[in-house]
Structure 1
Amino acid sequence: MTQVPEPEAPEEIDLERPNAARIYDWFLGGTANWAIDREFGERAVQTFPMIKTIAKASREFLGRGVRYLAEQGVDQFLDLGSGVPTVGNVHEIATAVNPGARCVYVDNEPVAVAHSQILLEREGVAYRHAVLQGDLRHPSEIWNQATDTGVLDPKRPIGLIVVGVLYFLGRDEPAVEIIRKYLSMLPSGSYFLSSHLTNDGVQTPDRALRAQIHQQYQRSSTPFHYRSRAEFSEFFAGLELVEPGIGWVPDWRPELGESRAGARMAGNPSFSGSLCGLGRKP
């Protein structure tokens, strides 16, 4: 049997340990991952078979959130921790509603950035979209770089997207302050779309399996951290929450788009283990 060769890796890439962005790409069926990421993903699936479905439900939420914002007239987006490009990228969803939509992607993973650049160049939309390599922990630096691209107009409402990434900020890091700094730079009428893993209120008999997954990630290059519903709600302080407020990912406006993964959790949305919300800056 012929072995498929690994894709060429950017010089900065760490192939000593699996990486969350590349693992997530594998969960979604992507190809921007390496053997070490696939091995991690396969072990995770063996431990917790529904983990791929949960990852897909999160991606579906992102799509519904972007679609909602585009329908409200928001036509520019700043996607922090955007990850490896896959089906349903922000600019694709937004452009389907508003052909003039713009987006700046930001990620600290070299593979995610390299693949995003290739995607945008191939689609010929680089003048309306950009990708930056950077760490969202540095709001002023990221904001300046994003606005310097000329893609975003800082005087008009922007959709700030931080979906599936805040849980990679350690509990000892000033996560709430970081997001508040971004929000302080956004103009009035902007939105903040986010999600977060939690074990608060999750009704499931498989807590031991989830604990094993958590431990596996702690040994990767990108460990994650749970936050409670109250802690996640702090990120939205001062914002006008869009209905249905803070809730489970599968429950967030399912009428906005098909959610095959979310539908599998319809009887128990807390199974997703992921809270989400959308807030508008007055």
Structure 2
Amino acid sequence: MTQVPDPEAPESIDLDRPNAARIYDWFLGGTANWAIDREFGERAVQTFPMIKTIAKSGRELLGRTVRYMARNGIDQYLDLGSGVPTAGNVHQIATSVNPDARCVYVDNEPVAVAHSQILLEREGVADRHAVLHGDLRNPGDIWPRALDTGVLDPKRPIGLIMSGVLYFIGREEGAHEMVRKYLSLVPSGSFFMASHITLDGVPESDGDSRESIHEQYKQSSTPIHFRSRAEFAEFFDGLELVDPGVVWVSEWRPEEGESRNSDRMAADPSFSGGICAVGRKP
């Protein structure tokens, strides 16, 4: 059913279909979402009650990986598919380690972009951070625009982040080629962080509910695509994997942050269905 136009909605926002960035915001307890997104989220929770907890574990992973990169000399970041800003944004985590850290956010969802800009202006850090409205699937457009902000120095290592976004890009859309292009543009010493969802090694008893979520997302403007662990590992070809390599989300360096895993994920990290890795460009 077509939604009644909302005068407070950013220009060009699609309110006819739920959107991943706004749904994820709802999962995390945010307010940058509309009725159509909340309805979708509530149905997802009914299908798979742990989905909110899993979403939060992905956000915590982002914090741990950025903290690790910042402690290892990375002071500038390109966050692709950054989503709606919530607690623990990249620039906030990075500046907690290095006050001079910089970040460019990129998202194709107008709500995410508008709220990111408001956050940066409110915090008074818009001179060191920027947000772009664009499609990360087009490096030829995103990369020069990111540099045009003046925030990033292409001669120094960059933290390239694709947290919880690659599974919205289908195989036919050339996801691996896209990642390779970005990695060819960043200088030696840069880090690449990504996370993904998979059915590999996930308890079979949960398979049906995950497939149901898969089908539900087909009704949104942002359908999801599962990849095998091997397919995910291909994104890191040519990079030096940071220990512990490709692992379940909750297993990636828990010492880098406060662990708030649910009892279920603590007992069985595979339950999240989320895998991740960080690699360094030689």
Normalised by the size of structure 1, how large is the TM-score?
0.96
2:64 aligns with 64
The aligned runs of 1:43-54 (5 Å cut-off) are: 43-54=43-54
1:116 aligns with 116
The aligned runs of 1:73-152 (5 Å cut-off) are: 73-152=73-152
AA of the residue aligned to 1:271: F
Q: What is the Cα deviation at residue 171 of structure 1?
A: 1.9
Q: Over the residues paired in the alignment, what is the CA RMSD in angstroms?
A: 1.1
**Cα 1:262/1:147, change in 2 over 3 Å:** farther
AA of the residue aligned to 2:29: G
Counterparts of 2:104 and 2:198, CA distance in 1: 28
The aligned runs of 1:192-231 (5 Å cut-off) are: 192-231=192-231
Question: Is the CA contact (8 Å cut-off) linking 1:108 and 1:133 kept in structure 2?
Answer: yes
Counterparts of 1:281 and 1:37, CA distance in 2: 38
AA of the residue aligned to 2:256: L
After the TM superposition, which of the residue ranges 138-147 and 255-264 deviates more from structure 2? 255-264
Question: SS at 1:172's partner residue?
Answer: helix
AA of the residue aligned to 2:239: L
Question: SS at 1:161's partner residue?
Answer: strand
**Cα 1:213/1:124, change in 2 over 3 Å:** same
2:188 aligns with 188
Counterparts of 1:129 and 1:195, CA distance in 2: 23
Q: What is the Cα deviation at residue 140 of structure 1?
A: 1.8
Question: Which contiguous aligned blocks of 4+ residues in structure 1 show a shift greater than 4 angstroms?
Answer: none
AA of the residue aligned to 2:12: E
Question: Is the CA contact (8 Å cut-off) linking 1:57 and 1:262 kept in structure 2?
Answer: no
Aligned residues, how many? 277
Question: Is the CA contact (8 Å cut-off) linking 1:139 and 1:182 kept in structure 2?
Answer: yes
1:232 aligns with 232
* 2:19 is aligned with 1:19: yes
Q: What is the Cα deviation at residue 152 of structure 1?
A: 0.4
AA of the residue aligned to 1:261: N
Q: What is the Cα deviation at residue 278 of structure 1?
A: 0.2
Identity, % of aligned positions:
75
Counterparts of 1:280 and 1:10, CA distance in 2: 37
* 2:17 is aligned with 1:30: no
Question: SS at 2:87's partner residue?
Answer: coil
Counterparts of 1:80 and 1:262, CA distance in 2: 28
The aligned runs of 1:160-171 (5 Å cut-off) are: 160-171=160-171
Q: What is the Cα deviation at residue 238 of structure 1?
A: 0.2
Q: What is the Cα deviation at residue 259 of structure 1?
A: 2.6
1:280 aligns with 280
Question: Is the CA contact (8 Å cut-off) linking 2:264 and 2:271 kept in structure 1?
Answer: no
Question: SS at 1:196's partner residue?
Answer: strand
**Cα 1:37/1:141, change in 2 over 3 Å:** same
Counterparts of 2:126 and 2:144, CA distance in 1: 18
Question: SS at 1:261's partner residue?
Answer: coil
**Cα 1:7/1:90, change in 2 over 3 Å:** farther
Counterparts of 1:156 and 1:140, CA distance in 2: 20
Question: Is the CA contact (8 Å cut-off) linking 2:170 and 2:225 kept in structure 1?
Answer: yes
Normalised by the size of structure 2, how large is the TM-score?
0.96
